[in-house]
Amino acid sequence: MLNNIVQNHLDFIVFICALLAERFLPLVSWYHPNHILSAIFSAISQRIYKKTDTKQYHYLAASMASTLILSTVLIIVVLLLQFAFYPELLSGLILYLCLENSSLNKKAIRIARLVKKNQKSTARELLKPLVAREVIALSSPGIIKAIIESVILRTARHYFVVIFIFLVLGPVAALAYRLITLIQQAWRSDIAPNSSFLMPLKLVLFIVEYIPIRLLALTIASLKASKKSMHYIKHYIKHYGRHFYQTNTGWLLSVCSASLGVQLGGPAIYNTQRFNKMRVGVERLPNADDIPQLLNTLNQTRFFWLLIIISVEIIKAVLVFKFA
């Protein structure tokens, strides 16, 4: 009987194991495949990107390069899944490698402690690989704001959206999405965020993330379900979520800003250029004590999603048993 249960629910068991492995056994960043892939993607962008080229060339070059990368990797993975003795185990490995959360949380807590001790130089060095903006001139509130925004967006994209796509569309789609985020992250390190070279990737990510990002934002909003907090959250989503330079990002930042009661967004420097992004939320600038509160909110959201997923699996199992 136990063997039947395991065989019938092997995909779900592997899914849970992948989440637990990412939580308790995260890979060190230097040994993670993402580190190698990011270096390769960055080298590709340096070969094909020239600031003086036309917009049309940028669109075409970025589209062709990203398509070639995705096609090469995904064809190999599909073949491996096709001929694997236990494809569910390989799917779990793919999910494990696509997820990124635990290591990011540890870095955020460490940065908060350094800022509290006024060790801003060390905090900036830890922050630098996590953000695209320049960090050399950031003040203490600027460092905290940058890491908060990074935690929000990276957790959303590298955890919640990955899980959503994995469950809805499967491991290959989740891997494809994660590769696109890696490509964009590698390319924008040397390219201005408003460059036409990044537009094809931004469009794809906007479409793919549209539903899961909003589900995540609504989940975070539901955790602050008091009448007063919901009033602020609705106002923030209506104003900032619609008018922020990226609406998906605007939804997340507006909800988290209302939840924490702090200001997010605002001007930032990318590749020596100042970009005047909209300020989101109240006037209070974030401090180091807001980071544990944010992590607690995201952990509650993670638990809620996991509870829903387990409930759906139980309902499916009951229905199968009932009508078998």
Mean pLDDT of the chain: 88
| Calculated CA dihedral for residues 58, 60, 64, 65, nearest 10 degrees | -10
For the segment 67-86, what is each residue's pLDDT rounded down to a tens digit? Answer: 999 999 999 999 999 998 88
With a CB cutoff of 8 Å and minimum separation 6, the contacts of 121 are none
Q: b/e string for 209-240 if b means 16 or more Cβ within 10 A?
A: beebbbebbebbbeebeeeeeeebbeebbeeb
* Radius of gyration over every alpha carbon of the chain, rounded to an integer in angstroms: 21
pTM for this model (two decimals): 0.93
pLDDT of residue 63: 95
Domain count, the chain: 1
Q: Which two tokens mark 145? A: 């704001």
pLDDT above 60: residue 231: no
Q: For residue 130, give its domain range.
A: 2-323
Higher pLDDT, 270 or 2: 270
* Exposure on the CB side of residue 254, measured as CA atoms within 13 A: 27
CB-count exposure of residue 35 (10 Å: 0-12, 13-18, 19+): middle
For the segment 260-276, what is each residue's pLDDT rounded down to a tens digit? Answer: 889 998 888 888 888 88
With a CB cutoff of 8 Å and minimum separation 6, the contacts of 30 are none
Name beta bridge partners: 280.
Answer: 264
- Work out the end-to-end distance of the chain between its first and last CA atoms, rounded to an integer number of angstroms: 15
**At 170, is the secondary structure helix, strand, or coil?**
coil
pLDDT of residue 171: 96
